[in-house]
Each structure stands twice: as structure tokens, then as C-alpha cells.
Amino acid sequence: MSKGTERLDSERLSSGRNGSGRKLWRWGLGALLVLPLAAVACRGHQHGNMTEAELGERMEDVAEYALDHVDASEQQTAQVNAVLRGVAPDLIAFRNEHRGLATKLRAELGKDKLDRAQIELIRQEGLDLADRVSARASQALVDAADKLDGEQRRKLTEKWAKHQN
């Protein structure tokens, strides 16, 4: 990628509605490293109805920003993108399951008489969902990180640490 193209991509990525490039960098790095956890939360009105293909493309765009930072090869980028495309269907399923739980909870809370046992079951289903999302996130994290060498991972985690706060 040329310097001009790199600058334009950085400007494009940092010109989002929600703020600065620093925020985007944090999101981009987090997306690469803990992608599934962040992506399941894509329920804002601009991301909440993404198709599987759109979500995969969005994740690849964000990962490209982080992968450029560590000079990832084309092969590494393709391998990370394959991980991201592989996780997209799971994220859509998790998102749909989350929405279903929210619908069930609203229905229960809207009743004249609260059924505490049913609400507790919904809570437990939510915990189960969170555990499955976490497990899938961990798997995707390790799968993507495995495509990079140790020095590249160190560069990313150092950058992540700087932008954590």
C-alpha cells in the first residue's frame, strides 16, 4: 500500500460518525484480537442489521488497518481474512440468539405478573450465550494470532496496551 493510499485509508477509517482515529484504532486492534466479542455487540443501528457478507467485509476492512501496522504479508492477510470470514456466520447466529433472548425478556417484563423463575431461565440462557461467545472469541483470537509471527503479535499487543486507556 502506498503512503498516499495508506493516509487516505486512515482518514476514511477515522472519519466515522463516532469520533477520532484513536477510537477507531482501538476498535480496529480489538477487532483483530478479540473480534467476536466486539462483533456480537454490533447492534447499533448502522451495524445491527449487517448480513454475514457485510459483517465479514467490515471485519476484513478493520483487520487490514491493524495488519498494515505490522507489515503483514499478503498470505498472512488472506489467512486472517479466512478466520474472519469463518467466524461471521457464528456472529450472526449469536446476534440473532441475543435478540431472541431480549425479546423473551421484554415479553416477560411486560406481563402483569412477573414470573421470576422464567426471568431467571432467560438470565441463565444469556450466561450460556456469553460463555459460547467467549469460547468462540478465544478460538478466533488464537486462530488469527497464529497467522502472525511473534514480533508482529508483540507490535500489536504493545499498540493495544498504549490505546487501552
Q: Which residues of the chain carry a pLDDT beneath 70?
A: 1-47, 165
What pLDDT is stored for residue 83 in this prediction?
95
Q: 11-38, pLDDT tens digit by residue?
A: 444 444 444 445 444 444 444 444 444 4
User: Which pLDDT score is estimated for 47?
Assistant: 59
Q: Provide CB contacts within 8 A for 7, sequence distance 6+.
A: none
pLDDT computed for residue 161 by the predictor: 86
> pTM above 0.85?
no
Residues 6+ positions from 30 with CB-CB distance below 8 Å: 38, 160
According to the model, what pLDDT value does residue 34 have? 46
Where are the chain's structural domains? 3-163
Question: What's at 116, amino acid-wise?
Answer: R
